[in-house]
Amino acid sequence: MYTIGEFAALGRVSVRMLRHYDAIGLLRPASVDASSGYRHYEVTQLRTLLRIVELRDLGCSLDDAADVLAAPRRWSTTEESRSAAAARSTWRASRSRSRTG
Protein backbone atom coordinates (compact mmCIF):
# COMPACT_ATOMS: atom_id res chain seq x y z
CA MET A 1 0.00 0.00 0.00
CA TYR A 2 1.09 3.53 -0.75
CA THR A 3 0.40 6.64 1.27
CA ILE A 4 -1.42 9.41 -0.54
CA GLY A 5 1.85 11.32 -0.99
CA GLU A 6 3.67 8.33 -2.45
CA PHE A 7 0.75 7.51 -4.74
CA ALA A 8 0.50 11.13 -5.89
CA ALA A 9 4.21 11.09 -6.77
CA LEU A 10 3.80 7.86 -8.75
CA GLY A 11 0.94 9.34 -10.75
CA ARG A 12 2.54 12.78 -11.03
CA VAL A 13 -0.48 14.51 -9.52
CA SER A 14 -0.90 16.53 -6.35
CA VAL A 15 -2.19 15.16 -3.07
CA ARG A 16 -4.93 17.78 -3.33
CA MET A 17 -6.01 16.32 -6.68
CA LEU A 18 -6.22 12.79 -5.21
CA ARG A 19 -8.37 14.15 -2.38
CA HIS A 20 -10.62 15.78 -4.98
CA TYR A 21 -10.88 12.54 -6.98
CA ASP A 22 -11.91 10.80 -3.75
CA ALA A 23 -14.47 13.50 -2.91
CA ILE A 24 -16.18 13.20 -6.30
CA GLY A 25 -15.97 9.39 -6.35
CA LEU A 26 -13.62 9.18 -9.33
CA LEU A 27 -10.80 7.35 -7.54
CA ARG A 28 -11.40 6.19 -4.01
CA PRO A 29 -8.50 5.07 -1.80
CA ALA A 30 -8.21 1.35 -1.14
CA SER A 31 -8.43 2.11 2.57
CA VAL A 32 -8.85 5.04 4.92
CA ASP A 33 -7.60 4.79 8.49
CA ALA A 34 -10.60 5.26 10.78
CA SER A 35 -8.71 7.17 13.46
CA SER A 36 -6.36 9.34 11.40
CA GLY A 37 -8.23 9.65 8.10
CA TYR A 38 -5.03 8.77 6.19
CA ARG A 39 -5.71 7.46 2.72
CA HIS A 40 -3.84 4.48 1.28
CA TYR A 41 -3.80 3.22 -2.29
CA GLU A 42 -3.00 -0.14 -3.89
CA VAL A 43 -0.53 -0.43 -6.75
CA THR A 44 -3.38 -1.82 -8.87
CA GLN A 45 -5.06 1.60 -8.67
CA LEU A 46 -2.15 3.23 -10.47
CA ARG A 47 -3.53 2.12 -13.83
CA THR A 48 -6.74 4.02 -13.12
CA LEU A 49 -4.88 7.12 -11.97
CA LEU A 50 -2.63 7.12 -15.04
CA ARG A 51 -5.68 6.73 -17.24
CA ILE A 52 -7.33 9.73 -15.59
CA VAL A 53 -4.16 11.79 -16.04
CA GLU A 54 -3.95 10.79 -19.69
CA LEU A 55 -7.59 11.68 -20.32
CA ARG A 56 -7.11 15.05 -18.63
CA ASP A 57 -4.02 15.68 -20.77
CA LEU A 58 -6.19 15.02 -23.81
CA GLY A 59 -8.65 17.67 -22.63
CA CYS A 60 -11.37 15.43 -21.17
CA SER A 61 -13.44 16.67 -18.26
CA LEU A 62 -13.60 14.66 -15.06
CA ASP A 63 -17.16 13.66 -15.97
CA ASP A 64 -15.87 12.32 -19.29
CA ALA A 65 -13.07 10.49 -17.49
CA ALA A 66 -15.63 8.90 -15.15
CA ASP A 67 -17.64 7.73 -18.19
CA VAL A 68 -14.54 6.21 -19.79
CA LEU A 69 -13.58 4.44 -16.56
CA ALA A 70 -17.10 3.04 -16.22
CA ALA A 71 -17.20 1.75 -19.81
CA PRO A 72 -16.32 -1.88 -20.55
CA ARG A 73 -12.67 -2.46 -21.48
CA ARG A 74 -12.15 -3.09 -25.18
CA TRP A 75 -8.41 -2.73 -25.61
CA SER A 76 -5.16 -4.15 -24.35
CA THR A 77 -3.63 -2.94 -21.12
CA THR A 78 -0.06 -3.57 -22.30
CA GLU A 79 0.68 0.12 -22.82
CA GLU A 80 -0.91 1.05 -19.50
CA SER A 81 1.19 -1.59 -17.75
CA ARG A 82 4.32 -0.14 -19.30
CA SER A 83 3.31 3.36 -18.18
CA ALA A 84 2.69 2.16 -14.63
CA ALA A 85 6.03 0.34 -14.51
CA ALA A 86 7.86 3.39 -15.83
CA ALA A 87 6.19 5.65 -13.25
CA ARG A 88 7.10 3.26 -10.41
CA SER A 89 10.68 3.03 -11.66
CA THR A 90 11.03 6.81 -11.90
CA TRP A 91 9.53 7.29 -8.45
CA ARG A 92 11.84 4.69 -6.88
CA ALA A 93 14.89 6.26 -8.56
CA SER A 94 13.98 9.75 -7.34
CA ARG A 95 13.33 8.42 -3.86
CA SER A 96 16.70 6.67 -3.88
CA ARG A 97 18.48 9.86 -4.95
CA SER A 98 16.79 11.89 -2.23
CA ARG A 99 17.89 9.43 0.44
CA THR A 100 21.53 9.38 -0.67
CA GLY A 101 21.86 13.06 -1.55
pTM metric for this prediction: 0.69
pLDDT tier at 84, thresholds 50, 70, 90: low
Which pLDDT belongs to residue 70? 87
Q: Which whole number is the average pLDDT over 39-57?
A: 93
**Residues 88, 94, 95, 96: what is their CA dihedral angle, to the nearest 10 degrees?**
110
Which pLDDT belongs to residue 83? 67
Which pLDDT belongs to residue 79? 65
Mean pLDDT taken over the chain? 85
Residue 42 CB partners (closer than 8 Å, separation 6+): 1, 2, 30
Residue 31 CB partners (closer than 8 Å, separation 6+): 1, 39, 40
Share of the chain above pLDDT 70, in %: 77
Which pLDDT belongs to residue 101? 60
What's the sign of the alpha-carbon dihedral 81, 94, 52, 5?
A: positive
Contact assessment for residue 12 and residue 87, using Cβ atoms and an 8 Å cutoff: yes
DSSP 31: E
Note the pLDDT tens digit of each residue in 8-35: 999 999 999 999 999 999 999 999 999 9
Q: Which whole number is the average pLDDT over 52-78?
A: 82
